Chains A and B, each alone.
Chain A
Amino acid sequence: MLDFIARRLAIGLITLIGVATITFFLMRVLPGDAAVMLSGAGAGAISEQELAEVRSKMGLDRPLAVQFGAWIGELAHLNLGLSLRTGQPVASEIARRFPYTLQIVVMAMVIAVALGVPAGLLSAARAGSWLDQTLRALSVGGLAAPSFWVGLLIILGLVWLFKWSPPLFWEPFWVSPWQSITQLIWPAIAVGIRQLALIARMTRSIMLEVLGEDYIRTARAKGLSEKVVVLRHGLRNGLLPVVTLIGFEVSALFGGLIVTEAVFNVPGLGQYVVTAILNRDYPAAQGIVLILAGIVVLGNLTVDLLYGWLDPRTRIQVSR
């Protein structure tokens, strides 16, 4: 078991290094640079010489390999560097915005699971009925709607129907929990709809499979009520793939999150990373992407470990 964990951790680490490398070089290939962006260009042509001086002060004129080495060195000390735009440590900027993003993700997942699993169960239990068909149609629809379009529609609906206006100040959860939940519920819904649909569909198809298995027939033959059959025996085995799905969907979740935060103007990581990329704020962009990718890797790792713990068969390495 330990060997298994160690192997998985090592793979995760290598993956992160790969992500770091790709991110770094991807950022540097972007045309224009922080000097151009921050020089307030647009009010008048800033001379190339002035730009060169700005770049030099920012350390952007060093050879790429040197800059990369410096960054990796900082990472080894758990230092994400300073933002080129604000001069503040990237880590503290991320720390300030992370709670909002995390809250949206958690709320979206809660909504998705709390509504998706029952919907899937219901669908599976009543397979073929009009209820099943309706739920299936809804979930396919939920998968199809672009999350930022949903977000836009939600905002328009809120403004039109309730004269809603966006919060001026986004309450952190620990300051006023209820306030922050009511503020973030809307972006959470927009983000969560896709997850809800996926979980409903997956639950349904897993349950359908499971319900056809032998041990279910046995349980039914034993005379147990349908509810017990479904919930106790079916669910336990069906839940694992759902968990897996959640783990793997984290990456897609972040994608939807990024645009949704832009639509709702939430001061979270998604908005920050887009601003960082568009402003060529390399340390910030690199730092955030690394963190996001790290979370994804962590998610995969957790799922792998969970699988390994719950299903001993996967622990056996397929020998090459």
Chain B
Amino acid sequence: MSKSKSSKSNGTPSYPSRRSLLKGSAGALATGLTAATWQPAAAQKRGGTLKVSNGGDPPDFDVHQTATFLTQFIGAPCYSTLMKVDPDNPDRLIPDLAEKAEVSADGRTVTLQLRKGVVFHNGSALTAEDVVYSLNRIKSPPKGIVSPRKGLLGNVEEIRADGALGVTIRLAHPQPDFLMLVSNPFNVIVSRAVAEPLDAQGQGVKRQVVGTGPFRLTQAVDGQYYELTRFDRYFGQGPMLDRIQFFPIRGEVERGAALQSRRIDACFFFANEAVLDPLRKVQGVTALRRPTPTFINLIPNVTRKPFDDPRVREALSLAIDRDAFIRTVGPLAGAFFHSRGLMPPGSPYSLTPQEIKAFGGYDSLPGLGGDVAENRKRAIALLEQAGVPKGSKMVILARGDVPAFRDSAINVAGQLKQIGLDVTVDIRDAGAFYKMETGGDFQLVTHSVAMGGASVDQILGEGYTSYGGRNYGMWKDDTLDKLYSEQSRELDPAKRVQMVRRFQLEFLKTYYQINLAWVGYGAAHLNTVQGWKALNDLYANMQMDRVWLNA
């Protein structure tokens, strides 16, 4: 992939895209060009039903309002976004609904040109009004509708339709990451005519799916199965499949067994290694695990003593043997990966080993040769200095139904005991957990943060700013917020890299959140399933438009 930036003759600079998580090289996005559309090869067969096991029932079908892959996996084939990640080259964006995207010279105006002749599943034509409504719905949801990702469009000042097929977006500040953010797999385009009346009732498009995607929802039997059928008037190439059926199977063991016995063709979500590993050895099955932009952090509530003292927070970080954490929680929840800094594993923004070792406890990452015993001695000393007596009781809040949350908390509790703290875990069901977490009703919490997408602004903006959606610990720091805004607007890629690295160094000093590991989710499918590629972003490339069955 070329490292140079291409600059077009009309003075519109192109922006560095999200870095490749696998190759660690920078790439350039040609935003103004219409990428060549993918054509199915002659050998690919049309037809057939793809049977997928989902990890449970989706609570509803409203992709904007949801946070769970259960909904997104079913919604993705039915909807389109403005642009999407190129499966063959995840650095690049290729057009989906937007044929062209141009950014003005000052970086503050984005002009989108929509494709002609796109229709929704109900036959109505896609217009710019639908795009405007959808983006506004994400950015400032109507009353009674929630939008967990509205921070992604936080930089947007105004969205306007320009004629039937043109959309103009005005940004408050230039933002190189903007196109990636707006193309997040969850930011689908819904039909205004369908969504608006439902939103007015406060319901949202929870039970209807009317999109522009390659499949449409034809059957939904709660607790049993969900069926998507090919949409014959899809604007793109493909899809090859006739139908996709989703079966909610909650237990991982049962999912693995169903795949092995070939009752289902694929499962796109495995966490537990004990289930995934045997699948790797089965003939005719492809099983894999890749790093996803999901990180597990220990989050202290800085509004409560003694966590307002940075020495205490540093002590917590020093106490953790991250290598042991990964070796234990990895097989249970997929937390096999780690990175140096706040960005995903292999990111070009990663810090050097020297740099990360400077922060308490991070030298216990695999391969960095830290002395855990020494670290823990230092931690005990810091606790003494801060006036935290031996045997102090602390409680880690955890969510019981997701292994990544629960098992991390259990492991961390055991480790914190080594520095003389009496730590227990308070495991709650999701409802009580969220209430306590968002209400600040906790001392410590281990949270597994799954980002759809790995652009800098998404990860740092959501996870590491005072106003970001993931600031459960309720810290406030103007310096960090300022550093974040600066890098968000920086158009020069080289300068930006420096700023991002500086941000990370500044943040890590504060120990507002203590990074433990990164999670990678597994997937497995029969070899008869062709054309699907696992991207690092768990939610990307789930439209199934290029998938075919070699039956």
Contact = CB atoms under 8 A, between A and B. Distances in A.
Tell whether any CB of A sits under 8 Å from a CB of B in the complex: yes
A36 B247 CA distance: 26
B148 A43 contact: yes
Given A39-B146, A43-B148, A54 B202 contact: yes
Nearest to B248: A265
A87 B206 contact: yes
B181 to A, nearest CB: 14
Contact of B254 (A37, A43, A166): A166
Interface in A77-114: 85-88, 93, 97
Contacts of B51: 168
B257 to A, nearest CB: 4
A271 B251 CA distance: 13
A88 B472 CA distance: 34
Nearest to B467: A45
A169 B223 CA distance: 9
Nearest to B251: A265
Interface in B60-94: 60, 65-68
A168 B247 contact: yes
Interface in A40-85: 40-46, 50-51, 53-54, 56-58, 85
B258 interface: yes
Max chain B C-beta neighbours (<10 A), residue from A39, A166, A170, A265: A166
A272 interface: yes
Nearest to A30: B431
B196 to A, nearest CB: 15
Contacts of B469: 43-45
Contacts of B470: 44-45
A195 interface: no
Contact of B432 (A32, A155, A163): A32
From A36, A93, A159, name the one whose CB has the most chain B CB atoms within 10 angstroms.
A36
Contact of B431 (A32, A163, A272): A32
A279 B59 contact: yes
A13 interface: no
B289 interface: no
B148 A46 contact: yes
Given A278-B430, A279-B59, A170 B148 contact: no
A271 to B, nearest CB: 7
Interface string B417-441: 0000000000001111111101000
Given A165-B258, A278-B431, A45 B471 contact: yes
Given A44-B151, A45-B469, A267 B60 contact: no
B261 interface: yes
Contacts of A93: 222
Chain B interface size band reads: 35 or more
A223 interface: no
A38 interface: yes
A271 B222 CA distance: 12
B177 interface: no
B247 A164 contact: no
A86 B60 CA distance: 7
A194 to B, nearest CB: 23
Contacts of A271: 223
A53 to B, nearest CB: 5
Contacts of A166: 249, 254, 257-258
Contacts of A204: none
Nearest to A34: B431
B216 interface: no
A280 interface: yes
B224 interface: yes
A277 to B, nearest CB: 9
Interface string B170-208: 000000000000000000000000000000011100110
A163 B259 CA distance: 11
A212 interface: no
A33 interface: yes
Nearest to A44: B469
A267 B224 contact: yes
Contact of A37 (B222, B431, B472): B431
Interface in A107-145: none
A31 interface: yes
B253 A46 contact: no
Contacts of A86: 60, 206-207, 222
A245 to B, nearest CB: 32
21 contacts: A30-B432, A32-B432, A36-B435, A44-B149, A44-B151, A44-B462, A51-B146, A53-B202, A54-B146, A54-B202, A56-B202, A57-B202, A86-B206, A87-B207, A97-B223, A165-B257, A166-B258, A168-B249, A267-B224, A271-B223, A280-B431
- Nearest first, the 5 closest Cβ-Cβ pairs linking A and B are A44-B469, A57-B202, A43-B148, A43-B67, A32-B431
